[in-house]
Amino acid sequence: MGNLEGKIILITGAAKGMGAVEAGMAVERGATVILSDVIDGQLEATANALNSPFAHLDVTSKSDWGNTITQMMNDYGRIDGLVNNAGIFIQKTLFDDSADAFEAMAKVNQLGTYLGIECVAPIMREQKSGSIVNISSVAGLRGQRNIGYVASKFAVTGMTKAVALQLAKFNVRCNSVHPGAISTDMALGLGPSDVELLTSRTPMGRIGEPEEVSETVMFLLSDAASYLTGAEIAVDGGFIL
């Protein structure tokens, strides 16, 4: 399951954390993976460790997307998979003067995902094949206190379904993955007390590892998921239960 031999895949937010793990796993399974991020030094180091190409890509920039996709088409002639992994979390609630944080999260998490889809969808439609995997969150399935993050991740969940409807007849799939508390900088940056609280609310009694999310992403990118589109898959240890 999850064989990606010969596939051309772009992963955003791939310099570190879950994106880097996804990239490494996809390379191990035979894909050519283009890593992208805005953290240039770490991006180059991660890509070099995988012997993979990389591109500076600010997901909120339409021109960056255009440059990256054009280069990929020049180099490979097709794009088989896109993982919209890049995302940010700013810890704010409605009462924390949160408008700036709301806008920042909307730009990266929602607009960034949309721009990636907008760029690759015509290519995949012409190919009559492709898989788009959007990394949402359990915050895209149930309410939480952080209004900006929840709004952006619910948007990703909804966009996934709209795109799946539009592209299904072209044999292009679009699915969303919803991690719970995962051992990355984003989660661990919340602080020990918040991590402990998340763990206590997770039926499996622990936070997850990036590899556990990445396995689901690999499946969705692969031909083994050929009849799966518009799905929302929670990888959360039962958190949303």
Active site residue 76: no
pLDDT for the residue numbered 109: 98
pLDDT band at residue 1 using 50, 70 and 90 as cut-offs = very low
pLDDT for the residue numbered 144: 83
Residue 143 has pLDDT above 80, yes or no: yes
Does residue 97 sit within a domain? yes
pLDDT for the residue numbered 191: 62
Residue 60 has pLDDT above 60, yes or no: yes
Does residue 149 sit within a domain? yes
pTM metric for this prediction: 0.94
Q: What Cα–Cα distance (Å) separates residue 15 from each residue in 76, 124, 147, 214?
A: 22, 25, 27, 15
What DSSP designation does 110 have? I
d(CA 61, CA 111): 9
Does residue 3 sit within a domain? no
Beta bridge partners of 150: none
pLDDT for the residue numbered 57: 98
pLDDT tens track for 217-230:
999 999 999 999 99
Does residue 240 sit within a domain? no
**What CATH number should be reported for the domain holding residue 172?**
3.40.50.720
Does residue 2 sit within a domain? no
Does residue 139 sit within a domain? yes
Domain extent for 50:
8-235
pLDDT tens track for 192-211:
767 777 788 899 988 899 99
Does residue 150 sit within a domain? yes
Does residue 133 sit within a domain? yes
* The pairing of beta strand 172-179 with beta strand 54-56: unpaired
Number of domains in the chain: 1
What is the average per-residue pLDDT within 69-91? 96
Catalytic residue among 76, 114, 149, 227: 149
Cβ(153)–Cβ(136) below 8 Å: yes
First CA to last CA distance, the chain:
27
Residue 138 has pLDDT above 80, yes or no: yes
pLDDT for the residue numbered 189: 54
Lowest model confidence (mean pLDDT) among 25-29, 108-112, 159-163, 186-190: 186-190
pLDDT for the residue numbered 2: 55
Closest CA to 11 of 209, 183, 217, 187: 217
What is the average per-residue pLDDT within 151-176? 98
Closest CA to 144 of 87, 92, 85, 191: 92
